[in-house]
Amino acid sequence: MRIHTSLKTRRALTSFLLEDIGTGDITTNNLNARDTNVRAEIVVKSDDETVVAGLEEAIVIFDICGCTSRNLVDDGSFVRNYQGVLEIEGRAKDILKAERTALNMLMRMSGIATETRTLIEAIRSAGSVAEITSTRKTCPGLRTFDKKAVKIGGGLPHRQRLDEMVLIKSNHIYLAGSVERCIRELKEKCGSNIKIECEVTNLKDLITAINEGSDIVMLDNFEPVAAKNAIKTISNLGLRKRSIIEISGGIRFSNIKDYADAGPDRISVGYLTHSTNAANYSLKIVDRNEQQP
């Protein structure tokens, strides 16, 4: 698998390696067999279906350490029951130097992708066509990879940085004085090419945000019944199609069908990137060349 990564991504992955390696792998570097050429395989360790994400990153990590890799599946594939996902060849010390960092990326990204897919399947089974979207609640340094994992799982990454779009939150509204003033001020200064999303906490502000031309309106911390009533109200007022309606706040697998039933266009789920369980992978050396290089 040939990977074309940006210098920024490669630099980030190199920094992750350096964090783990320190001055060197004191264990492997003191084994006589450290320079033995070996072949290793990464397998998924789960009876449940896992959506693979992070293979590209793992391949780059092994490449940085002088190893060659061959993906056995593609990112986005479904795997389970000790199925192999990646084969690696190189010196034992190089493979083991890269092992933990590569596995950590696979585990985190696959966990996010798998949970994203699980949520999508749950709301599709309930008849909803809403998009599942992530937030900026990510661990510093990992946002690019977390957002990519959401996308691999079928979700919408949403904005990556503060400069990508306007997202009006409660503190902005407090500073401006009202939803109306905040939207008008930002529309005037940012221009028509910048999308505006406005977070609201009640029906009155929802109607105001739509009337003021907010492209997206986020219902923040609405209970499912309240969200459904609010969306029904703006539908009756002929406002439903004027803005994308997003729901956010306290959404989990246990209640996402209730929120989907409210009829939003998007459902924003913070825990996808701040507390999703990691997938389980392991690396095993499966073959060695007894002849030293």
How do the pLDDT tens digits run along the chain, 293 residues long? 445 678 999 999 999 999 999 999 999 999 999 999 999 999 999 999 999 999 999 999 999 999 999 999 999 999 999 999 999 999 999 999 999 999 999 999 999 999 999 999 999 999 999 999 999 999 999 999 999 999 999 999 999 999 999 999 999 999 999 999 999 999 999 998 999 999 999 999 999 999 999 999 999 999 999 999 999 999 999 999 999 999 999 999 999 999 999 999 999 999 999 999 999 999 999 988 755 44
Give the H/E segment covering residue 39.
strand 37-44
Q: For residues 234 and 207, is the Cβ–Cβ distance under 8 A?
A: yes
Q: What angle do CA 169, 172, 177 make, to 5 degrees?
A: 125
DSSP-assigned letter for residue 35: G
Whether 95 contacts 72, CB under 8 Å: no
DSSP letter for 241, please.
Answer: G
Residues of the chain with CATH 3.20.20.70: 120-274
What whole-number distance in Å separates Cα of residue 96 and Cα of residue 64?
Answer: 13
The fold for domain 7-115+277-288 equals Aldehyde Oxidoreductase; domain 3 (3.90.1170)
Write out the residue limits of the CATH 3.90.1170.20 domain(s) in the chain.
Answer: 7-115+277-288
Give the other-Cβ count within 10 Å of 71's Cβ.
Answer: 19
Looking at residue 291, its amino acid is Q
| Contact predicate 155/149, CB 8 Å | no
Q: How many CB atoms lie within 10 A of CB 106?
A: 28
Q: What is the DSSP letter of 17?
A: H
Q: Which CATH architecture has domain 120-274?
A: Alpha-Beta Barrel (3.20)
11 contacts: CB under 8 Å, gap ≥ 6 = none
DSSP label of 82: T
Q: What is the pLDDT of residue 293?
A: 44
